[in-house]
Amino acid sequence: MTTIDAPSAKGSGSAATDRFKTERLSADTPPERAKMIYDDVLDALGGVIRKHEVTYAEYKVLKQWVIDVGEGGEWPLWLDVFVEHHVEDVNYSRHGFHGTKGSIEGPYYIPNAPKLPSVCTMPMRDKDLSADQLVFSGQVTDLDGTGIGGARIEMWSNDADGYYSQFAEGMDIPEWNLRGTIVTDDQGRYEITTLHPVPYRIPHDGPTGKFIESYGGHPWRPAHLHLIVSASGRNAITTQLYFRGGDYIDNDVASAVKPELMLEPRKGEDGRYHQEYGFVLDPAPED
Ligand code: DHB
Ligand code: FE
């Protein structure tokens, strides 16, 4: 038997790139705004080059590395780890949302995961069931506390070995393992049993790993659950939940931890961890 101790960048990177390429998005950015943004990006880059007197050797290493990231299919990985948190932050804080805070989506979301009832267990294999279990319950509400029946909680997380289903080539993980769309009951309530997540290393055997190594960093993210909570007429939130006091909470490689998104589950007599946490949705923004 071969043991692999973390997802390989090659498998998960190219799978993330392939999935992303299926959505050809357009942003309707007018040319004036595009010019302002490009000018500022290039000015900022020029400023860094001048400030640090970047050498030709360093410039050529950058060119080679950019080529490598693309060929390895790692742009979704690299961008979501090092850039997405800024995009998430300006979009949520600028509009003055009052509900549950968002966090980055990351590269491993798959839409339309199979529906699960409000009281459910996430799809898991026997080996996932032998890891710690987390019973996660609560209510999706409006800002005034009214429960939202039929709200959708899309949840996805990595398994105890650090793999996300559909992004771990050759690991034989069922397609929808640890992924589901939970539909709340008529009061907005849910009780989801899932694997208690563990800290996760982003794929680090490719150019993203090389990048991290080059500055003496580490590839770890704290244990986290990914969620998208949505309901008709409400602003959908993409977020993550973390575990207070857990490893890498204070130095997440993806800079995506927020104090409002902390869980502190208690171990029950049944041997499982229990946590209540509710989601509050803002009304959908008007166009
Ligand atoms: C990446 C992976 C994650 O699980 C995550 O939450 C954020 C980013 C990544 O590999 O880019
Ligand atoms: Fe993740």
Give the separation between CA 142 and CA 188, rounded to whole angstroms.
Answer: 10
**CB of 211 closer than 6 angstroms to any ligand 1 atom:** no
Q: What is the pTM of this model?
A: 0.92
CA gyration radius, the chain:
20
Tens of pLDDT, residue by residue over 66-90, are 999 999 999 999 999 999 999 998 8
State how many domains the chain has: 1
Residue nearest to atom 3 of ligand 1 (CA): 106
Provide the residue range defining the domain that includes 141: 9-280
* Residue 156: CATH number of its domain: 2.60.130.10
**Cβ contacts of residue 276 below 8 Å, gap of 6+?**
137, 138
Give the confidence band of 226 by pLDDT, cuts at 50, 70, 90. Answer: very high
Give the separation between CA 81 and CA 208, rounded to whole angstroms.
Answer: 9
DSSP β-ladder status, 279-281 and 133-142:
parallel
Report whether 160 contacts 186 (CB < 8 A).
no
**Is 55 part of a structural domain of the chain?**
yes
**Cβ contacts of residue 79 below 8 Å, gap of 6+?**
none
Cα–Cα distance list, 166 to 64, 78, 132 (Å): 29, 19, 22
**CB of 73 closer than 6 angstroms to any ligand 1 atom:** no
CA of 123 to the centre of ligand 1 (A): 21
Report whether 65 contacts 71 (CB < 8 A).
no
Specify the ligand 1 atom closest to the Cα of 79: 11
Give the confidence band of 2 by pLDDT, cuts at 50, 70, 90. Answer: very low
**Is 286 part of a structural domain of the chain?**
no
**Is 1 part of a structural domain of the chain?**
no
